[in-house]
Amino acid sequence: MNTIEELYNEYFHDIYLYLMSLSHSEDTASELTQETFFRAMRSVDKFRGDCDVRVWLCQIAKNAFLSQCRKDSRFTGEEVPETVPDTSVSIEDSLADKERSMAIHQILHDMNDPHKEVFTLRVFGELSFRQIGGLFGKTESWARVTFHRAKLMIISRLEESE
């Protein structure tokens, strides 16, 4: 296992981008990235090595984000979602068109897990299918198929709305 400093230097950007995709806030993503590596440092001895380090760190980041949501909900009274809300994902070239982008945001907002989360992890988190499968305790093939189905759902709903 690498030292925490090596992990931080190697994976900081990946974890930050993943948290940006979840929080949509630079400040929150930065704060939670630091929290992620702090938690990783405290539990590095529990890492068994049965998944990729990036997958392990993303799981810690996701848990930190959900903890932050729960903490924030105590102050705002809002209900915390059971899953991470994924409301801002695009399909490659569609982001250039703001109207189409908003339609994609709405489709993703309404989409159920695991399709929504797999799509977000792949597009925003830039994780490999193997890493995504590892997060869910599934195979790489499962992640590929789930991502493909999510993409088809988005395309189909976009075509319906046009």
The per-residue pLDDT for range 19-29, each reduced to its tens digit, is: 888 888 888 88
Range list of H helices, the chain: 4-23, 26-43, 53-76, 98-110, 115-123, 129-136, 140-161
- The answer as to whether 57 is a domain residue is yes
**Looking at the structure, do residues 46 and 101 belong to the same domain, yes or no?**
no
Mean pLDDT computed over every residue of the chain: 78
Q: How far apart are CA 151 and CA 48, in angstroms?
A: 33
Pairwise pLDDT comparison (86 vs 137), residue with the higher score:
137
What percentage of the chain carries pLDDT values higher than 70?
80
Phi-psi region of 127 (alpha: psi -120 to 50; beta: other; left: phi over 0): beta
Q: Is residue 86 part of a domain?
A: no
- Asked whether residue 83 is domain-assigned, the answer is no
Q: Which residue has the tokens 């339609």?
A: 103
- Residue 30's domain comprises 4-76
pTM for the full predicted model: 0.49
Residue with tokens 């950007």: 13
Is the pLDDT score of 91 beyond 50?
no
Q: Evaluate whether 21 touches 126 at the Cβ level (below 8 Å).
A: no
Helix (H), strand (E), coil (C) string for 4-36:
HHHHHHHHHHHHHHHHHHHHCCHHHHHHHHHHH
Number of domains in the chain: 2
In tens, the pLDDT along 111-132 reads 888 888 888 788 767 778 888 8
The residue-averaged pLDDT of 33-52 equals 82
- Distance CA(151)–CA(91), nearest Å, equals 8
Q: Does residue 99 sit in the same domain as residue 37? A: no
Structure tokens at 158: 């976009």
What is the rounded CA–CA span in Å between residue 162 and residue 145? Answer: 26
